Structure 1
Amino acid sequence: MASNALALIYHSSYNLELPGHVFPAHKYSHLYNRVKRDPVYASWDILLPKKVDDADLELVHTKEYLDDLFSYEHTPRTMYSELPLNRSIVESFMYGVGGTVLASELSDKHQFAFNMGGGYHHSFPDRAEGFCYLNDVAIAVKKQKETKPDINALIIDLDLHQGNGNSYIFQYDDKVFTFSMHQGNLYPKKEISNLDVNLEPNTKDDEYLSILETSLNQIRKDFDSNIIYYVAGADPYEDDSLGELKISMKGLKERDLMVRKFAESLNIPCVVTLAGGYARDFRDTVEIHFNTITAFGEK
């Protein structure tokens, strides 16, 4: 297991300017700056990912879809994205996937490896969806399985929206367990995870954390995981513009700490990705993501 507890990964290409778009894709540089202002984390080395290799993309995505994506063409395969399609956006996704692949590789040396990007959990093998062009977690899991066929990967997805892409991709893989806890009456069209928890609007901290604890205890009994991929969406937040869950900033950090303690109790590594966050006050989204870093970085 790991000598150093937490590795942080970031690339400036994560950052995008999408004026007027609900997806605050400039949050990544703000989070990086927040880390660099913090007295604890300012001196830490932040690791630089490379762009994901084409061969790794093909572990999950079809050649036909990738051809359309890299031609920047609006086709039936790319049209379900809610983002523009151009070179800088595709490059951003390639670095974001590279960050999650790097985090997966670092799980041999670090108990927690944190990609300050990624979590593109709506992307399917043959199409884009939502704000997701490439599925970083699925690619990282499949790549890890090439060298470690005995990996039993647990995907814990606590974004506001169901991780439908991962649920679909791994639906027949008994060595990957998908768990998604999300607002039930929202986008997207649901796929079937190994464990889905559909939350009602106005769910608050105590109920949320109790359900999460119960779910993790059930997973402990049902699946012998040896690595966790945690999709740590900021959007269950009580002032998120796209959701109706009522989880406080404090409750979200307690959520993150619960996932950390779960990984520690199993003595297995955890790869963390950011995923969504659309707080009405943009600074809240950045702070929630920073709190996730501190939840995994604190001694």
Structure 2
Amino acid sequence: MSSQDLALIYHSLYNLDLPGHIFPAHKYSHLYNRLKRDPIFSKWDVLLPERAEEHDLELVHTKEYLNDLFSYEHTPRTMYSELPLSRSIVDSFCYGVGGTVLASKLTNKHKFAFNMGGGYHHSFPDRAEGFCYLNDIAIAIRKTKETSPNHKALIVDLDLHQGNGNSYIFQYDDKVFTFSMHQGNIYPKKENSNLDVHLEAGTKDDQYLTLLYDSLQQIQKQFQPEIVYYLAGADPYEDDSLGELKVSMKGLKERDRMIKKYCSEQSVPCVITLAGGYARDSKDTVEIHFNTLAAFGEI
């Protein structure tokens, strides 16, 4: 595959200053440095996103919530975040949104567009939740709908946790199909996706991949997307500190290849975002994310 097939997007401001926090706040720069050490991908261009404009954020989020967010105040709308609230952290999210919006635009000329950030799937229109202040994928979808209101999007969320924000936002939109496969007995409080697969603790590679394959086959019969948004969470990993799934690094590689194959066979472009990852050894999280990049950029 050439760099014309896969666009790469990154901004140094994706990184957060969170000393001692469970969120691996510098995984973005570590992934970028991992890419730059690779003999193939180091030669590829990496594109710089712009900061998302507030009018784009308002396509999903309420003005009241955004006013609180940009005041950097803990209020009933911002308090459910598990991150600090500061100008630098809000800036990071705005650039992460900009990266996913740019990735969505780039699918007009690339098969795949990889934002080395994003995947903030817990954010609701009127409040923050988890490690998410802004919902980048929902904003990117609504941005596309400004000019193509009937554009059909499939969200494939393979993070450890349910993509409850996206499920809620698009619950009445028949042009957006939400699919979330996640550990069923942990955070967050679940919303209703178009297709939810609740995994048991201890789920291993074979069962995980079989359920994913069967789910994609089911979706194919129900919905024909024009674009796929893939949240390639690293946290189903067997040594993740927040989860109890037992998917190996090899299994996660196969997962990524399966999503790429699905998109290729359907002839639809794909936007890839990182989403979560909290491996006990943070190098594992970075390697899992790099493997996702490599899967979509495989020659």
How would you bin the TM-score normalised by the shorter chain?
over 0.9
Identity %: 77
Tell me which amino acid in the other structure corresponds to 2:213.
Answer: E
What displacement does 1:71 show?
A: 0.1
Q: Which residue does the alignment assign to 2:220?
A: 220
Q: Which residue does the alignment assign to 2:107?
A: 107
Q: Which residue does the alignment assign to 2:229?
A: 229
Q: TM-score, normalised by structure 2?
A: 0.99
Tell me which amino acid in the other structure corresponds to 2:142.
Answer: K
1:109 alignment partner, SS class: coil
1:104 alignment partner, SS class: helix
1:113 alignment partner, SS class: strand
Q: Which residue does the alignment assign to 1:251?
A: 251
Q: TM-score, normalised by structure 1?
A: 0.99
Tell me which amino acid in the other structure corresponds to 1:273.
Answer: T
1:201 alignment partner, SS class: coil
After the TM superposition, which segments of 4 or more aligned residues of structure 1 sit over 3 Å from their partners?
none
Q: Which residue does the alignment assign to 1:124?
A: 124
Q: Using the alignment, how far apart are the partners of 1:284 and 1:19 within structure 2?
A: 19
2:293 is the counterpart of 1:293: yes
Matched-pair contact (CA < 8 Å) for 1:3–1:109 = no
Q: Which residue does the alignment assign to 2:201?
A: 201
What displacement does 1:3 show?
A: 8.9
1:233 alignment partner, SS class: coil
2:26 is the counterpart of 1:26: yes
Q: Which residue does the alignment assign to 1:275?
A: 275
What displacement does 1:17 show?
A: 2.3
List runs of 5+ in structure 2 lacking aligned partners.
Answer: none
Q: Using the alignment, how far apart are the partners of 2:283 and 2:143 within structure 1?
A: 35
Q: Using the alignment, how far apart are the partners of 2:66 and 2:212 within structure 1?
A: 36
Tell me which amino acid in the other structure corresponds to 2:106.
Answer: L
Q: Which residue does the alignment assign to 2:50?
A: 50
Question: How large is the Cα RMSD of the aligned pairs?
Answer: 0.9
List runs of 5+ in structure 1 lacking aligned partners.
Answer: none
Q: Using the alignment, how far apart are the partners of 1:161 and 1:217 within structure 2?
A: 22
Tell me which amino acid in the other structure corresponds to 1:120.
Answer: Y
Tell me which amino acid in the other structure corresponds to 1:281.
Answer: D
Gap change, CA 1:11 and 1:3, over 3 Å in 2: closer
Deviations 1:162-211 (A, max 9, x none): 00000000000000000000000010000000000000000000000000
1:22 alignment partner, SS class: coil
Q: Using the alignment, how far apart are the partners of 1:64 and 1:149 within structure 2?
A: 25
Tell me which amino acid in the other structure corresponds to 1:109.
Answer: K
Q: Which residue does the alignment assign to 1:171?
A: 171
1:93 alignment partner, SS class: helix
Q: How many residues align?
A: 298
Q: Using the alignment, how far apart are the partners of 1:115 and 1:92 within structure 2?
A: 13
